[in-house]
Amino acid sequence: MYKGQCLCGKVSINVKGPIDSIIHCHCSKCRKSSGTAYATNGFIQTADLEITSGEEQIAHFETSPGKRRHFCTVCASPVYSSNDLAPEQLRLRLGILDTDIVERPSSHIFVSSRANWDRFDESLSMYDGHEPGRNKAKV
Ligand SMILES: [Zn+2]
Ligand SMILES: [Zn+2]
């Protein structure tokens, strides 16, 4: 079972099944709702999502008819999205998870909509935390 919490901690979830079809989505809606280059999302079964606290804190924004992005109203963390055409599954926002998962992303999608500064440059330095030299007081 996977566990997750939103940024403020009011919304807590358990995911009681596997995560399927994990992708990095570069579409403009995912960029705007995440505030960054892309969102990493995967399908879960609706029956596998257990909201253990903060359900009343979750609101949604309907981006197109029947498609809703559900988020914490306190801290704005994305939690999942839903589609009325497929109520048996949800699209989990993987950033909410606190536990390691065994599944892995399979692809980048909507790369035609990607930000022009989003280059997947593997030659850039990679760090586990903030880059060295960053002034922590200005975070
Ligand atoms: Zn929150
Ligand atoms: Zn997207």
What is the number of the ligand closest to the CA of 112? Answer: 2
Could you tell me how many residues make up the chain? Answer: 139
Within-domain flag for 135: no
Q: Residues with Cβ within 5 Å of ion ligand 2? A: 25, 27, 30
> What is the arithmetic mean of pLDDT over 21-31?
92
Quote the domain boundaries for residue 88: 2-113
> Contacts by 80-87 with C-beta closer than 8 Å and gap 24+?
80/44, 80/49, 81/41, 82/46, 87/46
Across 93-99, average pLDDT: 97
| Residue 106 placed within a domain | yes
The pLDDT confidence band at residue 83, using thresholds 50, 70 and 90, is very high
Evaluate whether residue 70 is within a structural domain: yes
pTM summary value: 0.88
pLDDT at 57: 97
Q: What integer is the mean pLDDT of 22-39?
A: 93
Number of domains in the chain: 1
* 121, part of any domain: no
- Cα(7) to centroid of ligand 1, in Å? 5
pLDDT on residue 98: 98
Q: How far is the CA of 17 from the centre of ligand 1 (A)?
A: 23
Asked, for residue 100, whether it belongs to a domain, the answer is yes
